[in-house]
A and B are shown apart, each in its own frame.
Chain A
Amino acid sequence: MKMPRLSRRQRMFVQCAPFNEERIRDRAMRAAVFRVHKTDEFANQREFDRAVAALVQTVPIPEGVTAWLSKGIYVAAPKRTWKQALRNPAVLAIGIAVSVIAAIFVMKLIERMNEFPGGTTARRLLTVASSVHSLMLDPVKTDAGALGDYFFMKHRLPHYDVPPEFADLRTLGCRVFDDEEGQRVAQIWLIEKHMQFFIFPAERDLKTGAARHFSGWRYVDQYRWTGVVQERNGVCFMAALRGSEKDLAPYISKPKD
């Protein structure tokens, strides 16, 4: 078989390719050798090289040399660097797996840290907020802060008050309904940013029946809706809108008297 056309680089590789296949570790060299391995010219070269190497192998090695070499003291044990270890596919796979587990753990931890009594109800009410139309509400146009008395007088719901931070906002309508757990929930629709308020009983301890308190404002989100929740006197208030925490933050950043 005749020598195929080779690039200059391939010719170079063929010229200096080790005659021992095990020593060809370079992919480009292996490819070049593969192209010519059936040619007569390359076969002659290989036979030539192997014959010379066989002759080299017959060079007698003095006993002293063998004894020295067998001690194996001339090279330090190879030290694995961090870079080499990281390039190992097994280490890489373990690293990725550990990173994913760590990320999930951190996410769960953050979720746990953000959880508060009544958080589940708040999320469910965000779903209600996303599906309810203003037509379903009784039209009431007033300041949100005035509706606390309205809920008490008409529905006998004590402490269903709108916190001072949101009390000045104008309302479009409101309603009171029973949620899936039979809790009385007040819903208020506002003009500003199509915001909605929900006032609902705080989560209660199953043994004692006492309301489970938490301090400050807590954020909750569900399906692109975000709510900010506060508990006071065993009643939770949630302001909800379609958006992110950034949209709600200005309202609660400056507490009002």
Chain B
Amino acid sequence: MLGDAGKAQEIFQAIMHDAALRAAEGELPNDRLSIFRDARYRCLGASEAGLQAEAIELEEHEIDSSAPVQIAKLEPAQLAVWISAAPDPQRTALALFYLDEFDHEELLALSELKTAELANLIGNGRQEFQAWLNATFPREQAFEEQA
């Protein structure tokens, strides 16, 4: 969500600190998602305070069968930066979707989106990411290395 491990850890610790205080007072929330919701709001708040990504229309490419090879070349930090640069709620949708922690209903509840919106954001996100992959690892290069 933030593309910055340091900031993410700060937010995580703040959330855990609050949770510990609430546990001490016996006021823990019943909802498993509440902690993720809290994390999302804090991340959005923190990213608003920092530098903002310029709103530009990204190119979209059809998903390529060689995409897994291209993705395997990436560093996790590159993916984190790419996702954190996406405008919200797309950033939230992509981050939560690829975390592989939630089912569809939970994704909708956490991202506060409807199915159509979520589908659109994820679908577009894939194609934008594919375009970025194609730009970063041009096809010829990917196929050569595969061979």
Which positions in A face B, CB cutoff 8 Å? 9, 11-13, 15-20, 23-26, 29, 40-41, 44-45, 47-60, 62, 64-65, 68, 73-76, 78-79
**CB atoms of B19 and A73 under 8 A apart:** yes
Could you tell me the distance between the alpha carbons of A9 and B115 in the complex, rounded to whole angstroms? 9
> Nearest-CB distance from B116 to chain A (Å)?
5
B-side contacts of A40, CB under 8 Å = 65
A12-B115, A16-B122, A75-B34 are known contacts; what are 16 more A-B pairs with Cβ within 8 Å?
Answer: A11-B119, A18-B104, A25-B104, A26-B103, A26-B105, A44-B67, A48-B68, A50-B68, A52-B129, A53-B100, A55-B76, A56-B99, A56-B100, A65-B12, A74-B16, A75-B35
Residue in A23, A24, A48, A68 whose CB lies within 8 Å of B63: A48
Distance from A27 Cβ to chain B, minimum over Cβ atoms (Å): 11
Q: What residues of chain A lie closer than 8 Å to B116, measured between beta carbons?
A: 12
Render B73-98 as a binary contact track against A, CB cut-off 8 A, 1 for contact.
Answer: 01010011000000000000000011
Q: In the complex, which of the residues A40, A65, A73, A76 has the most CB atoms of chain B within 10 Å of its own CB atom? A: A76
Does B58 lie at the interface of the complex (its beta carbon under 8 Å from any beta carbon of A)? Answer: no
Contact pick for B9, options A20, A51, A65, CB 8 Å = A65
For residue A168, give the distance in angstroms from its CB to the closest CB of chain B. Answer: 74
Main secondary structure of the interface of B (DSSP, over half): helix
A residues near B28, Cβ cutoff 8 Å: 73-76
Task: Check: B2 CB closer than 8 A to any chain A CB.
Answer: no
Q: List 21 A-B contacts (CB under 8 A).
A: A12-B115, A13-B115, A16-B107, A16-B115, A16-B119, A16-B122, A18-B100, A23-B103, A23-B104, A44-B65, A48-B67, A52-B129, A53-B98, A56-B98, A56-B99, A62-B9, A64-B13, A73-B28, A74-B16, A75-B29, A78-B30
Q: Given A16-B115, A73-B23, A68–B12 Cβ distance below 8 Å?
A: yes
Give the interface size class of chain B. Answer: 35 or more
Nearest chain A CB to B12 CB, angstrom units: 6
Within the complex, the shortest CB–CB distance from B11 to chain A, in Å, comes to 11
A15 contacts B98, C-beta separation under 8 Å? no
Are A51 and B100 in contact, with the CB atoms below 8 A?
Answer: no
Q: How far is the CA of A51 from the CA of B67 in the complex (A)?
A: 8
Q: Whole-angstrom distance from the CB of B78 to the nearest CB of chain A?
A: 9
Residue among B28, B64, B98, B126 with the most chain A CB within 10 A?
B98
- Please indicate the chain B residues that have their CB under 8 angstroms from the CB of A45 in the complex: 63, 126
Across the interface, B105 reaches (CB within 8 A) one of A25, A57, A58, A68, namely A25
Residues of B within 8 A of A64 (CB): 9, 13
- B: residues with CB less than 8 A from A are 5, 9, 12-13, 15-16, 19-20, 23, 28-32, 34-35, 63-65, 67-68, 71-72, 74, 76, 79-80, 97-100, 102-105, 107, 115-116, 118-120, 122-123, 126, 129-130
Within the complex, what minimum Cβ distance (angstroms) separates B39 from chain A?
Answer: 11
Instruction: Report yes or no: A44 in contact with B64, Cβ–Cβ below 8 A.
Output: yes
List residues of chain A with CB within 8 A of the CB of B29: 75-76
Closest CB-CB distance, B42 to chain A, in whole Å?
14
Task: Say yes or no: B30 contacts A79, CB within 8 Å.
Answer: yes
Q: Give the contacting residue for B71; candidates A15, A20, A52, A78; CB below 8 A.
A: A52
Closest to A45 in B: B63
Residue of A nearest to B31 (CB): A75
Q: Do B23 and A55 have beta carbons less than 8 Å apart?
A: no
